[in-house]
Structure 1
Amino acid sequence: MSQAIHLSQIYLDANATTPVLPQAAQAALTAMEDLFGNPSSSHITGLKAKNMMEQTRQRAKTLLGTGKGKLIFTSGATEGIQTGILSGLIKARENIEPGKNYSILYGATEHKAVPNSLEHWNSILGLNAEIKAIPVDSLGNLDLEFIAREVPNALMICTMAVNNETGVYQDLQRLEQTIREHNADTFWMVDCVQALGKRPLKLSETSIDYAPFSGHKLYAPKGIGFIYIRDSAPFTSFIAGGGQEGGLRSGTENLPGFAALNVIFEMLLDHENSCFSTAEKLEQYRQQLVSSLTAAFPEIVFNHSFENSVATTLNFAVPGFSSKELMDLFDAANIRVSSGSACSSKVTRSFVLDAMGLPAWQSESAIRLSFGPAMTQTEVDEACDRIQLAASALTHSCLMLDDTQLSDDRTPLDGLVQLRGGASCTWIYADLKTKQVLIIDPLPELEKRINTLLECQQLAPIAIIDTHGHADHISGRVALAQKHLKQQKCDHLGWPESSAKIQIDGIALDMIKLGELSLVKVASPGHTDDSISLLLTSDITKLKSSTHFAFCGDTVLMGSLGRTNFESSSSNKMFHSLKQLEQLIGPNTLLCASHDYNNEFTTSLMAEAARNPLLEGALNGKLSEAEFVTEKAHLDANLNDEVGTEIMCGAYTTDCQKMAIKEYDASNLQQLAQSETIKWIDIREPHEYALQHSLGIKTMASDSINVPMTRLVQFIQQHQDDKSSEWVLVCRSGSRSLVVAQAMQRLGFSNIAHLKGGYALSS
């Protein structure tokens, strides 16, 4: 075991939160140590505290141009949002006319805190108003025509000054004109959280009724915020109690938070003595980062226009890369960015980018890079260098090509690789000796990645095959075959016409060779009429014991069987296909499906039968063909037709509950280091290793085996006879290692554990 070397962090996730500015932290500490009095106390210590609090308030009012409006300190933006919404809707309720239909409007790209709060208070107050999202155009601008049409009947309208995901800002002047021309009395709240320090605000010159702010988005501690309330706007106390804040917001005041904000406001007001950069300098920083990102990822797509977005936010996607892959890459370089996607096959899209009408892949793969106005030139330069280094590391995984890098410096490919596009799987098997490769169920969005992999590894495809005609996506097979197999004649699924004919257990089958292995085609109709299974074996005379992998398409899925309610489906035929498959490969051969909806990677007939009564009944003769057909119809009736942007190809027979996994944490490391029986598996991708090596970072477990998730199924197959050893999995954060540990335990690895928190919490 060796400890990680500390590498300076490049923090580019300021829209989520910011570090506390050193000057602000010192002011907060001073307030805790010296200026700790209760502002409500009448003695000198209390009076000093109250004076500092009022000084902070006055600076905020000057900065924001509040005029006669109120400025109330809160715990943060969420409380401010509740205060504004509750105040407006309670007053609006007094003027509701019986029998008239009302609405409440909010921007479709608004932070979820707003629509969720609107729904809550609309219900609590019994308003029964229709809550409507205001559409935006492709640039993120609110639809003014929609507002003009809908606002006359709106009890309240909520918009935001600057979007937290894209940095898009609204033209508040045009927005105000549209709102007030069509409804002078509706209450208007503007979320100004991301505008503070980035956009000029003169609130008293507007008819904005409520404007919430948050301190931790601009270098103050968490737990402090404030809200502007126009002098003529109604107000209802959200928190009642001891009567602090002039009776407007009760609760003992957060003096350390006030002290920190006081410093922030002072810097924003005094540009000569501030660490905050000018708008021009922030724009220069953005352009430098854009240039670096574009050089690193030439096909990068930015998800917003720079013409109507603040300079401190960049939202982008890179074709062929998931947001999770880029997050892991940036994190390995010790760069902090954020993603709108969940780390699972159940792809989560950005509702903001969806509302802007962007393509699904951009929404699913978006990365947000954001910095604050205290960013320095040194930090930008270091970030740009680190971004370039991170991109260069991708050559080690053959995800990008670099002609200047020697091919033997890359991780050689020998065996099975699983590539993913959402919940869909593409399988690639490479034979290192012959430099031949087999591609199964290629996805169109992975075409470039596959081409890069082939060129980088200097591999020649012998066949590119689909296991069936896909209903949920267009196959990428044709384009790849036209590029790599122009002379090969094949059927509609890509099976070569020149294949050999063989007999196994009295069944006539087709076969092609891949190095010393054979690929056997087995007709498996059921999910579709043209479904096939492909058996990769080292001995065609002993399929049950020598088949390494069975590529079964959607015939058998993890936790399910493929749906059989398509026009070309037949549950009768699936019944016989399942029995034949079991006859040929037995219960333990690893099945490689076309979809993995629950991050389980691979399975076997034995593992599936243990949790799938329908499959178990078919294989063990407990169900007749007619009974299977009836039960299968019931199963398909439970289909959830979509996951992310994909059509579901099978209904779960179980809720796929994850098993409890033994966990170690940083406190166990010394004990683990002394163990001679533990085998470490580091499941990070090769480029993460390469990047940390180039940055001089040593991994915690120097004797670990590197098994990337893309090559996990190959590892499981190679260790079928070593399932009782104590394996401890580790990754960057502990999330991937937990998922892999659960998958391996389900397949019989009885002594599996993982390192909770991963390298991130163990260095």
Structure 2
Amino acid sequence: MSQTASLSQIYLDANATTPVLPQAAQAAMTAMKEIFGNPSSSHITGLQAKNLMEQTRQRAKVLLGTGKGKLIFTSGATEGIQTGILSGLIKARENIEPGKQYSILYGATEHKAVPNSLEHWSNILGIDAEIKAIPVDNLGNLDLEFIAREVPNALMICTMAVNNETGVYQDLKQLELTIRNHNADVFWLVDCVQALGKRPLKLSETSIDYAPFSGHKLYAPKGIGFIYIRDSAPFTPFIAGGGQEGGLRSGTENLPGFAALNVIFEMLLDQKNSCFSTAETLEQYRQQLASSLTAAFPEIVFNHSFKNSVATTLNFAVPGFSSKELMDLFDAANIRVSSGSACSSKVTRSFVLDAMGLPAWQSESAIRLSFGPAMTQTEVDAACDRIQLAASALTHSCLMLDDTQLNDDKTPLDGLVQLRGGASCTWIYADQQTKQALIIDPLPELEQRINTLLECQQLAPIAIIDTHGHADHISGRVALAQKHLKHQQCDHLGWPKSSEQIQLDGAQLHMIKLGELSLVKVTSPGHTDDSISLLLTTDITKLKSTTRFAFCGDTVLMGSLGRTNFDSSSSSKMFHSLKRLEQLIGRNTLLCASHDYNNEFTTTLMAEMMRNSLLHDVLKGQITESQFVSRKANLDANLNDEVGTEIMCGAYTSDCHKLAIKEYDATSLKQELGQSNKVKLVDIREPHEYALQHSLGMETAETSSSINVPMTRLVQFIQEHQADKTSEWVLVCRSGSRSLVVAQAMQRLGFSNIAHLKGGYALSS
């Protein structure tokens, strides 16, 4: 797919990897073309290659102040870490005294390559030592008292010069004093990957035994790195073979990598003729970026102190926004940052921020923005402008307010919206005609977002209701009701006491009106004694055919039934509630649960019966109440209590198998669109992402005619197309992850001609 226009990428993920510096790339290319000899060869071409290798080594030794220490080139930091750990542990094993308890220490915020390698080699070497994480304080500083207490019995200690997530640096001098005052002989490895070019290093003036580095973190190609080894430190080759690197590391040397590093080292040694900025300039860049982020997101929280972190890393969170949402927003603006969260309801937290004791929401919502020392003022200015543009796009989704824009500029909201907090769901139904709204199962962490949405769309809530008393979180209902429904009298779940009473099938029910729709309350105890289901319908006399949505709380979940082993639960009552629910709404009404553990959005009784044998047997009348109680107890007994930080509210009856989905790549989709006018493209990104792509001229010719159906409004879309499940829909998103998840959900609900664009827009341009 060819883009109609292209906006330059702003790359702010340098801690993951950097682009190769043009001068370094040119040097690597020259090495491949001209100095391509094997350094082990004795002819002139080989001698030229060896000279390049030794020149690079000498510059590195001067730059790092290695003194008499060894400097061995590797494939990268991971190999360097293995080399250091293996060398240290082999020697330490020789000195182990029988019956004595030993430990191996590493920083709690260390890159996972270190603790995983420690465990791996300890097992292989048969070392019986406890691997312990050194705690950090809320600033990320290692606990020196812990080290002083533990290091006397330690075989090895591994710390980090600069953290890759937060940029926090350790006081190596103070750390060294603590270590050596309590154990002069312990082997000490310091991960220096993020320190190169950002922190001064004079390794020979320290007692650091091993210090691995990586080239691709500082503008060299991937596949080249090096490790410093103190002259008195033990060494065991990690790779044996032809005896290259003086027998210290075998394997034919990476000459293009050497050439690139040679240029980098030269620039670091001669800053007057370098493209690398000074520490003072980098501090100014950080402050400018931080100010721009704060202007764009006024409630931003930075997850680290600027006083003990390098200037090239900013780690932050924005209240009310998940890291996934912010990641997608920045990507839509063609800004590259990093996030720890996956495209999943199971929230991925930052173990680094957890170790620092930060609140869970900051750990779950963290974004890392990082740049390299070759950053320029022009690039910083462009990044700040683009950050502001990205933030302003949030007004299209009513996620932020902007008084300078008219309400008509906002994406109008009419129908159902699904908001998420982890695996928990909040449902909002907006009626544009009456400017009224219903809010169901509001989460406290979404309070600000809900208030912003209501104000932005000028909606007045007529009821704020919980489907049951929630055991896994505090409801956000009370705070919202105090703001929007101060004078409304309601019960403990928020149902208005002034609601109308109706008779239906001999039962007395309660109802409230929302424009032309009615919301009917049905008691459905089981999961909890106070559980209710809320049926949104156009005709209360024909619920089976006219109910648009049934908000059933945790009575029926996607792939499961709500657990019934709480003190307020009753599986016997759930048995009758399930039968009652089917009697009222039938098997094809969309169910909107209060939890979605597998990104399935919505379901129906029919869809659940096909994979849930217990529900099938209940609704088919094939088991008795007592049999249901017995089988349900067995399910609850095998329930995992938590997912992330959340209590599991469903007893799973199936594995929620993902369905195979038809996939297009950019070429095949273009061909299909050219051959058929029946294919309907659906862009499932959020309105602000969609608007950004189009406003920045980044849409493609093939997808410019797509319709935008955000995932937050997917359930409304599914309801509107219940009678049109055979059309050929092709779903598209940024990377293909969300489109695949949505396609699987829709196919499970009977949409028989669903496909998605593999790789999304990211691979289509």
Shorter-chain TM-score range = over 0.9
The size of the alignment, in residue pairs, is: 763
The CA deviation at 1:642 is 1.1
Asked whether 1:170 is paired with 2:170, we answer yes
For residues 575-654 of structure 1, the aligned pairs below 5 Å read 575-654=575-654
Match of 1:743 among 742, 745, 755: 745
Asked whether 1:320 is paired with 2:327, we answer no
The CA deviation at 1:562 is 0.6
* Partner residue in 1 for 2:677: 676
The CA deviation at 1:651 is 2.5
What are the superposed Cα offsets for residues 199-247 of structure 1, whole Å, 9 maximum, x if unpaired? 0000000000000000000000000000000000000010000000000
Distance 2:356 2:179 in 1: 21
SS of equivalent to 2:520:
strand
- Letter paired with 1:145: E
Distance 2:4 2:598 in 1: 32
Distance 1:651 1:100 in 2: 47
- Letter paired with 1:306: F
What are the superposed Cα offsets for residues 100-139 of structure 1, whole Å, 9 maximum, x if unpaired? 1110000000000000000101100000210000000000
Distance 2:323 2:505 in 1: 47
Distance 2:174 2:347 in 1: 36
Asked whether 1:555 is paired with 2:517, we answer no
Asked whether 1:86 is paired with 2:78, we answer no
Asked whether 1:157 is paired with 2:175, we answer no
Deviates more, 1:179-188 or 1:681-690: 681-690
SS of equivalent to 1:509:
strand
* Partner residue in 2 for 1:412: 412
The CA deviation at 1:4 is 4.4
Distance 1:162 1:76 in 2: 17
Query: Retained in 2: the 8 A contact 1:439–1:463?
Result: yes
Query: Retained in 1: the 8 A contact 2:162–2:169?
Result: yes
- Letter paired with 2:447: E
Distance 1:109 1:730 in 2: 37
Query: Retained in 2: the 8 A contact 1:396–1:686?
Result: yes
Deviates more, 1:689-698 or 1:446-455: 689-698
SS of equivalent to 1:217:
coil
The CA deviation at 1:284 is 0.3
SS of equivalent to 1:216:
coil
What are the superposed Cα offsets for residues 610-664 of structure 1, whole Å, 9 maximum, x if unpaired? 1111111111111111111111111111111111111111132122121111000
Query: Retained in 2: the 8 A contact 1:327–1:337?
Result: yes
Q: Which runs of 5+ in 1 are unaligned?
A: none
The CA deviation at 1:317 is 0.1
- Letter paired with 2:471: A
The CA deviation at 1:581 is 0.3
% identity of equivalent residues: 88
- Letter paired with 1:508: Q
The CA deviation at 1:442 is 0.3
* Partner residue in 2 for 1:121: 121
Asked whether 1:705 is paired with 2:702, we answer no
* Partner residue in 2 for 1:281: 281
* Partner residue in 2 for 1:531: 531
* Partner residue in 2 for 1:696: 697
* Partner residue in 2 for 1:66: 66
What are the superposed Cα offsets for residues 479-534 of structure 1, whole Å, 9 maximum, x if unpaired? 10011111110000000001111122222111110100000000010000000000
Distance 2:179 2:3 in 1: 59
For residues 41-440 of structure 1, the aligned pairs below 5 Å read 41-440=41-440
* Partner residue in 1 for 2:466: 466
Deviates more, 1:483-492 or 1:671-680: 671-680
What are the superposed Cα offsets for residues 390-415 of structure 1, whole Å, 9 maximum, x if unpaired? 00010010000001101011110000
TM-score normalised by structure 2 residue count: 0.99
Distance 1:720 1:156 in 2: 63
SS of equivalent to 1:526:
coil
Shift >4 Å, 4+ stretches:
none
Distance 1:4 1:515 in 2: 43
The CA deviation at 1:41 is 0.2
Give the root-mean-square deviation of aligned CA atoms.
0.8
Query: Retained in 2: the 8 A contact 1:682–1:731?
Result: yes
Distance 2:325 2:92 in 1: 48
Query: Retained in 1: the 8 A contact 2:4–2:697?
Result: no
- Letter paired with 1:348: T
Query: Retained in 2: the 8 A contact 1:536–1:549?
Result: yes
SS of equivalent to 1:634:
helix
The CA deviation at 1:667 is 1.7
SS of equivalent to 2:132:
strand
Distance 2:657 2:49 in 1: 54
- Letter paired with 1:639: L
- Letter paired with 1:610: M
The CA deviation at 1:697 is 2.7
* Partner residue in 2 for 1:757: 759
* Partner residue in 2 for 1:718: 720
TM-score normalised by structure 1 residue count: 0.99
Distance 1:108 1:653 in 2: 38
The CA deviation at 1:691 is 1.8
Query: Retained in 1: the 8 A contact 2:6–2:697?
Result: no
Asked whether 1:508 is paired with 2:508, we answer yes
The CA deviation at 1:2 is 7.4
- Letter paired with 1:198: K
SS of equivalent to 2:217:
helix
SS of equivalent to 1:35:
coil
Match of 1:731 among 718, 730, 733: 733
Query: Retained in 1: the 8 A contact 2:669–2:757?
Result: no
Distance 1:109 1:64 in 2: 24
Distance 1:702 1:162 in 2: 44
* Partner residue in 2 for 1:655: 655
Distance 1:461 1:426 in 2: 14
What are the superposed Cα offsets for residues 644-697 of structure 1, whole Å, 9 maximum, x if unpaired? 111111132122121111000012133122121101100011111222233233
Query: Retained in 2: the 8 A contact 1:395–1:687?
Result: yes
- Letter paired with 2:618: A
Query: Retained in 2: the 8 A contact 1:2–1:698?
Result: no
SS of equivalent to 1:218:
coil
Could you say if the C-alpha distance between residues 2 and 545 of structure 1 is closer, same or farther in structure 2, counting changes exceeding 3 Å? farther
SS of equivalent to 1:528:
coil
* Partner residue in 2 for 1:687: 688
The CA deviation at 1:698 is 2.7
Distance 1:234 1:337 in 2: 40
Query: Retained in 1: the 8 A contact 2:101–2:153?
Result: yes
Distance 1:4 1:680 in 2: 18
Query: Retained in 1: the 8 A contact 2:204–2:230?
Result: yes
Query: Retained in 2: the 8 A contact 1:340–1:349?
Result: yes
- Letter paired with 1:552: C
Deviates more, 1:329-338 or 1:665-674: 665-674
Asked whether 1:573 is paired with 2:570, we answer no
SS of equivalent to 1:387:
helix
The CA deviation at 1:736 is 0.8
